[in-house]
Amino acid sequence: MSTEEQLRRVVRQIRTELEWAARTGIVVESPKVPEAPARTEGAPSQPPTPASLNPPARPPQVPPTPEPPTSAVVPQANLQSAPAVVPQANLQSAPAVAPQANLQSAPAVAPQATLQPGPTPPAPARLPVLAEQLAACTTLEGVREVLGDCTRCKLAKQGRQQIVYGVGAANAEIMFIGEGPGAEEDRRGEPFVGAAGELLTSIIENGMGIRRGEVYIANVVKCRPPQNRDPEPDEVAACEPFLAAQIRAIKPKVLITLGKHAAHTLLGVQTPITRMRGKWGEYQGTPLMPTFHPAYLLRNPAEKRAVWEDVKEVLRFLGRPLPGRGAK
């Protein structure tokens, strides 16, 4: 190419660039390709346009201020009681606009891990159906309904006349727990109504100065064991969830267990009752006072003194007055 031709080319190039500069205000010094702007994931990859090669300085593009979520108008009390909702204070202090820097520093590509299913989380531990049903019960009636015409253990087929569920105030502060219904209880459908029951009623009313109807009385097993034998471990295991649910429904301040079977069942120990009585224990968070069974007191009247000490301790714990000694 001749020198003249080369000069003409340079002039043409300079003229083109001057025209471009006049139109756009942009001086293109060299045809270098600028770095591609960071792009957010999902934005289609655009071929660079002349203007985007070296864009004029302008305020960063800001997305419109998002509307506060509707939860922001939920009354404050609800916000506070519902931890799942972002509290008001957090909504206010949250930046109204997602900062540009954050957008840019976000990975250009959504991390693969979020798209792929993670390791399968362990299945939430499912309670057995009965435990689930009882856990949902908040009333004695609800527990009774789940109990139904129970045949969950062999006592159902060993001569029981009826289930002896329990008796007393649904909001009792004190709950007495015996071993299992005797003949009279089985006949009448109420715990502690035989000879031992009469003594228990006297302890409650004369000894503690409380009406029998003000406490709640139940047994470890709700069906009469034949010949008044001790309840067997499988029978206790079948029945205990219902007793536990009754206790949860009543929420007594104190449990008083009568005799070794109730104490052993609820405290999960095998200590002789003579060593346990009068010493505080606990059943699922409820204070528990073990004492002698009234049937034992009928055979050993001298031990009434010990029971009197135990119930006085309970009355002191509850801040109730100590009546004069009355149980005979």
Binding residues vs ligand URA (CB under 6 A) = 178-182, 185, 191-192, 194, 196-197, 219, 295
Q: Tell me the closest approach of the beta carbon of residue 156 to ligand URA, in angstroms.
A: 17
Angle formed by the axes of helices 140-147 and 233-250, to 10°? 150
Question: Cβ atoms within 10 A of the Cβ of 60, count?
Answer: 10
The Cα–Cα gap between 26 and 234 comes to 91
CB of 285 to ligand URA, least distance (A): 24
CB of 180 to ligand URA, least distance (A): 6
Residue among 94, 221, 126 nearest 166 (CA): 221
Strands of the sheet containing 167-168, edge to edge, are 167-168, 216-219, 174-178, 254-258, 286-291, 281-283
Query: Minimum distance between the CB of residue 146 and ligand URA, rounded to whole angstroms?
Result: 21
Q: In the block, which residue shows the tokens 């100065």?
A: 209
Nearer to ligand URA, 16 or 274 (CB): 274
Q: Which of 179/207 has CB closer to ligand URA?
A: 179
Q: What are phi and psi of 155, to 5 degrees?
A: -60, -25
- Closer of 197 and 290 to ligand URA (Cβ): 197
Structure tokens at 10: 């340079």
What is the SS3 assignment for 119? coil
- Give me the residue whose beta carbon is nearest to ligand URA: 178
**Closer of 76 and 228 to ligand URA (Cβ):** 228
Nearest distance from C-beta of residue 216 to ligand URA, angstroms? 13
Q: Which of residues 79 and 311 has its CB atom nearest to ligand URA in the complex?
A: 311
User: Minimum Å distance from CB 176 to ligand URA?
Assistant: 9
CA-CA-CA-CA dihedral for 100, 103, 106, 112, to nearest 10: 180
Q: What CA–CA distance (Å, rounded) separates 231 from 264?
A: 12
CA 22 and chain centroid, separation: 72
Cβ nearer to ligand URA, comparing 179 with 254: 179
